[in-house]
Structure 1
Amino acid sequence: MNKIIETASALGLTAALLVLPACDKGGADEAAKTDDKAAKADKAEKPEAGEKPGAGEKPEGEVAELGGDGRVDVIVDAGGYHPDEIRAPAKSKVTLAFTRTTEQGCGQDLVIASMEIDKKLPLNETVEIEVEVPETGEVKFACGMDMYRGKVVPKS
């Protein structure tokens, strides 16, 4: 009887491990937060002008716009990249300054596949990458697991 219980326990643990997400976006509390975020998204709650979103919340469509060549600070936290979209004139040079601020999530690696870049992002250190804004399309960047995503696009 004990052998049956041990086998059932091992199978249950194995099944639980298989359904865990590959990228931990903030720990065990994230599942509970997902329901709250979905409810807020349904209500289309957005911060008023001048207000900042609450802790742990990511405003939809964080965009940084540049008028030409320049630098954008990109914070990498448990919610992803902030901002996650950078707009600048086509053919301009943009320096993306990535700073990872938490151990949570999968932001330890930065991948820009179109430029064959795969870099580690050390905690609380800035890593700069220069990209040229394409005439059309976008330069995508992501974490190593492609769970966090961002892009550089030409201004329209």
Structure 2
Amino acid sequence: MKLVRFGQPGRERPGVFLDQAPELDGQPGILDVRAMAFDLCDYDRFFFEHHGLDRVRALLAESRRNILPASHVRLGAPVAPPGQLICAGKNYADHAREFDTEIPTRPILFGKAVGSILGPADPIPLPAHITRADYEAELAVVIGTTCREVKEEHALAVIAGYTLINDITDREEQRAT
């Protein structure tokens, strides 16, 4: 299931991306979740902690669905802005070597501003002083419940899903610090 949020920035609605929507003669479509269940307001912590995924699966099975052509809508980030965006740095040996530093024995964790999260086709606003921005495709793990010090054998139980992130970095600034 591909959860999406669509609409104007800051006013996105929850949806499900359909690769081939029968209602649209097999064209890609977006199931408008809120149009079918007004109380499913967003893909946020409340949604994931209160069986929201099960409810969306049930909506997908209904015969009368509210489907929009995917080509007519702007996609936002697939989940509501999280409380935190935690990243792991130098977690690939080749990437660590790029910095001419030792490979860390443990992940280097750092935060990013949640306000920097954009939709997949949104323009990336960069400050004028940045002359070279590097980008990296990253796997994002969406944690669906409040947790702390989760044991490895229980880790999958707190994962709500996965998405992709385009991590943008000002390498000149990063190397200067």
Per the normalisation by structure 2, the TM-score is: 0.20
Higher helix share: 2
More RCO (CA 8 Å, sep 6+): 1
Per the normalisation by structure 1, the TM-score is: 0.22
